[in-house]
Structure 1
Amino acid sequence: MLTPQAPAGPSGPSGPAGAATPSGVPGAPGAPGAATPSGAPGAARPSGPSGADGPTAAGDGERLRERIADALTASRARTAALTDCVEEPDLTAQHSPLMSPLVWDLAHIGNQEELWLLRNVAGRDPMHPEIDPLYDAFEHPRATRPSLPLLPPAQARSYSAEVRGRVLDLIEKAPLEGNRLLSDGFAFGMIAQHEQQHDETMLITHQLRKGPAVLTAPPPPEAPSTPLPKEILVPAGQFTMGTSTEPWALDNERPAHAVDVAAFHIDTVPVTNAAYIEFIDDGGYDEPRWWTEEGWAHRNHAKLSAPLFWKREAGQWLRRRFGVTEPVPPAEPVVHVSWYEADAYARWAGRRLPTEAEWEKAARHDPATGRSLRYPWGDEDPQPHHANLAQRHLQPAPVGAYPAGVSPLGVHQLIGDVWEWTSSGFHPYPGFSAWPYREYSEVFFGGDYKMLRGGSFAVDPVACRGTFRNWDHPVRRQIFSGFRTARDDRPTSAESV
């Protein structure tokens, strides 16, 4: 019997993401859908390209089993790296009112894996049903989690390890066809993505944590010296948005549908720290005309004056990054800004944030073939030379550092580095169907959520696609969020960055 124990710590609000207990009757025949965002060392490999039949249809069941095992192993290695590097008090404390204690995430990962794979897929009896309510993200918002009788770290690790051992055995035996949870290994891919989502959440907690650095990583690659154009014209026309064929795609990414987009210009690269400092120095935080009414009210209430973790000392901007204070790198994409800040910058610059459809067309549309690609660089799974993913560098890379990841239209760094705010709210695509449970996407449609696209340096390739959709409240900035701007098509003088 597991013996839960309650850690002490302050309370805080919950965010929009977090997997719910599976509900309804799984296994209805049909096409698969999938889970959420985050990063890891050791990139997991997602299933075949959008538009392909998928591994099981191709008769490649053994390769699919290997892919599943690799994805789960990579996610667990990252979870261990993020939790083994700190002592027990850091695991049980709540480091910010915005986040759960790390130990909650640790056991929640194991609990969701047991619920979906051992109970729903394998039909086994619950291992420890008494802890299910403690790790239901919808029953307990982050504000209440520190006061729950949570499993202490040793028991949380033991429970998750026991679940994982049984799941690895299951991978060898489970049929990977016959119903929606099994087809193309969807349920296994959903769980790998879910763990990576929580790994990104735990990395955010590490960034919010006070104290000395416990995480290290090499610096990202340098950017080429050749200047890039300031913006790229995306021609008017129809493109295919979303997917109906990506095996591990989420329900909110589905179905594929045609969208007409007017011609527009989009920044070649994300907005940099240097460009954002110009906005600050020009009084951008003090001029209400650049802000929406709600944004200005929030700016005043929260006393915003710079991105989160920035401070100015002796005439220099510094930032705190995973326990290290350092000068703000001018050529990196700005990170830790809210939607309100991104929108204000865009107005100040005489531009706007791109819509979600504009962002995806810039990222996926190939004008030579008319196809929508899986990724900006094509249908190939992400490799280290394509994008800054998988927590390899613990920071965004200088703009232009990944020329191999450029889109057919010439737009850089659309995948990795920073989540990019768009102007769009979170709404279903035409023909949307909630699956495998309403609480993944449907309950969040509408409201004040704003869409983020592209992933960050903290996102693992298993949870990163050109169709992947993330969403959050416009006030959020503890997340690894940045942005790029756009404008309607009109004549302008050519500029370079």
Structure 2
Amino acid sequence: MTTALDANVDAHSKLNLEKRYEQVRQYSEHLVHCLSPEDCALQAAPFVSPVKWHLAHTTWFFETFLLIASQSAYQPYNEQYQYLFNSYYNGVGEQFARPKRHLLSRPSFKEVIKYRQHVDQQMIHFLQHANNEQCQLIELGLNHEQQHQELLLMDLKFNFFQNPLYPQYGLALDAPSQLIHHEGFEEFSGGLFEIGHHGQSFCFDNETPKHQTYLNSFQLSRSLVTNAEYLAFIEDGGYQQSMLWLSDGWAWLNAEAVQHPLYWVKQSGEWYEYSLQGLKPLNLKQAVSHISFYEAHAFAQWKGFRLPSEAEWEVAAQQSLYGPHQTSLSHMIDHNWQWTQSAYQPYPGFKTPKGAVGEYNGKFMCNQMVLKGGCDLTPKGHSRITYRNFFYPQDRWPKNGIRLAKDVSE
């Protein structure tokens, strides 16, 4: 990771970091103020977590990697929290089993908020004397919390969806803007390009190092795939045509009896879609979302195209957002995370950071696929074109969508 803080960490930089710390931490609690303690304890599947756990885990991160690690006199708020709220950091110690997080009725929601307040008070004082390395770790912790703010909402949506009442979240999030739809594909010339993060602004370690990659000329669809387009795939028997599917995808489809996107519901012959605002008639003009990699790949095959590589996506985004020529690509970093055909692997020259924080990204570089962009649940300012999100190919609970690609000769 890198930050804009220099070795001396001047007072102005610390003040900005303190303000940012308060803003990020307060936003997490803002997201949950409309929820009941019962809402915050739900865990409908092993791959999601209760809201309460997200609030505690992000606090555990600051307490463990900064307060405990750097201050010998600091006494943990509760020694048991080191075990209960450790997610996957084996270098720190054992973890409470992820599938059983819903069993943690204690500590209560109120006690978790007290835990957050205690750590925040300690962190604001700690920040006044933090050195450069510690400030970088604080910045990592804030970006980590922003990731969990998005995960919190996606997990809550999955948990609520299990309820036949189709509950509404209650907080007025920014509604997705109307989808801008441009027909056709944008062409990009091939050549040698640089991708990956470089510079002084923050990035996660998996975005580095910046490196060169060669691309053939390619085309990227100007718009995200819509619900109407995906409905046509369903109505044409896309879920019954084995030739469209990867072998693992076909096995997954049949094992899970998947026949449509995760949050689509058919009632009295009409399609509806569940969102955090409740069950609504399916908006055919909106981007299709909550699609697995397997479904995205099969849809691309059905259309006669493919998914972009992460390098193609990033180069197109560079030229679209920062290039001298205006392109017609819409919604590159909002609406939905976009599946790529690229496996999540280390960039050439990548080195895992030392210590427990080295477990943050590097050890997951196996059996997952890269997604690019962001979605409407991503905290503002958290997205960037070098960002490498990653999920397993069967994952549908994240807000994932589809952008198509093809070779220039097609």
Compute the RMSD of aligned alpha carbons: 2.4
Rounded to whole Å, the distance in 1 between the matches of 2:29 and 2:86 is: 22
1:297 to 2:256 alignment: no
Rounded to whole Å, the distance in 2 between the matches of 1:338 and 1:357 is: 20
User: 1:465-494 CA distances to partner (integer Å, 9 max, x unpaired)?
Assistant: 111111111111011111211011115xxx
User: 1:414-448 CA distances to partner (integer Å, 9 max, x unpaired)?
Assistant: 112111111111100111011253311221112x2
Letter matched to residue 118 of structure 1: L
- 4+ residue runs of structure 1 moved beyond 6 angstroms? none
Change (3 A) 1:294 1:217: same
Change (3 A) 1:121 1:271: farther
Q: How much has 1:409 moved relative to structure 2?
A: 4.3
Structure 1, unaligned runs of 5 or more: 1-31, 34-46, 48-53, 367-375, 380-405, 492-497
Question: What SS is found at the alignment partner of 1:120?
Answer: helix
Q: How much has 1:458 moved relative to structure 2?
A: 1.1
Within the candidate set 410, 413, 434, 2:331 is matched to 413
Please identify which structure carries the higher helix content.
Answer: 2
2:111 corresponding residue in structure 1: 155
Q: How does 1:196-235 map to 2 (within 5 A)?
A: 196-208=146-158, 209=160, 210=163, 211=165, 212-213=167-168, 214-222=170-178, 228-235=182-189
Q: How does 1:94-113 map to 2 (within 5 A)?
A: 94-113=43-62
Letter matched to residue 331 of structure 1: K
2:374 corresponding residue in structure 1: 455
1:169 corresponding residue in structure 2: 125
Change (3 A) 1:191 1:97: same
1:488 to 2:407 alignment: yes
Rounded to whole Å, the distance in 2 between the matches of 1:198 and 1:411 is: 28
User: 1:95-125 CA distances to partner (integer Å, 9 max, x unpaired)?
Assistant: 4443122221121111111112323355652
1:262 to 2:216 alignment: yes
Q: How much has 1:149 moved relative to structure 2?
A: 7.0
Letter matched to residue 265 of structure 1: Q
1:372 corresponding residue in structure 2: none
Rounded to whole Å, the distance in 1 between the matches of 2:349 and 2:325 is: 28
Within the candidate set 402, 412, 423, 2:341 is matched to 423
1:377/1:407 contact within 8 Å kept: no
1:434 corresponding residue in structure 2: 352
1:84 corresponding residue in structure 2: 33
2:306 corresponding residue in structure 1: 352
Change (3 A) 1:323 1:124: farther
1:72 corresponding residue in structure 2: 21
1:137 corresponding residue in structure 2: 87
Letter matched to residue 435 of structure 1: P
2:192/2:214 contact within 8 Å kept: yes
Letter matched to residue 88 of structure 1: P
Letter matched to residue 331 of structure 2: Q
Question: What SS is found at the alignment partner of 2:352?
Answer: coil
1:443 to 2:363 alignment: yes
1:252/1:469 contact within 8 Å kept: yes
Structure 2, unaligned runs of 5 or more: 89-94
Rounded to whole Å, the distance in 1 between the matches of 2:256 and 2:241 is: 16
1:427/1:445 contact within 8 Å kept: yes
1:251 corresponding residue in structure 2: 205
Rounded to whole Å, the distance in 1 between the matches of 2:106 and 2:53 is: 7
Within the candidate set 373, 384, 387, 1:465 is matched to 384
Could you tell me the percent identity over the aligned residues?
A: 28
Letter matched to residue 201 of structure 2: P
Question: What SS is found at the alignment partner of 2:84?
Answer: helix
1:237/1:262 contact within 8 Å kept: yes
Letter matched to residue 73 of structure 1: E
Rounded to whole Å, the distance in 2 between the matches of 1:255 and 1:428 is: 9
Q: How does 1:27-46 map to 2 (within 5 A)?
A: 32-33=1-2
| Number of equivalences | 395
Rounded to whole Å, the distance in 1 between the matches of 2:116 and 2:30 is: 15
Rounded to whole Å, the distance in 1 between the matches of 2:315 and 2:48 is: 33
Rounded to whole Å, the distance in 2 between the matches of 1:315 and 1:468 is: 40
Rounded to whole Å, the distance in 1 between the matches of 2:308 and 2:141 is: 31
Question: What SS is found at the alignment partner of 1:344?
Answer: helix
1:193/1:462 contact within 8 Å kept: no
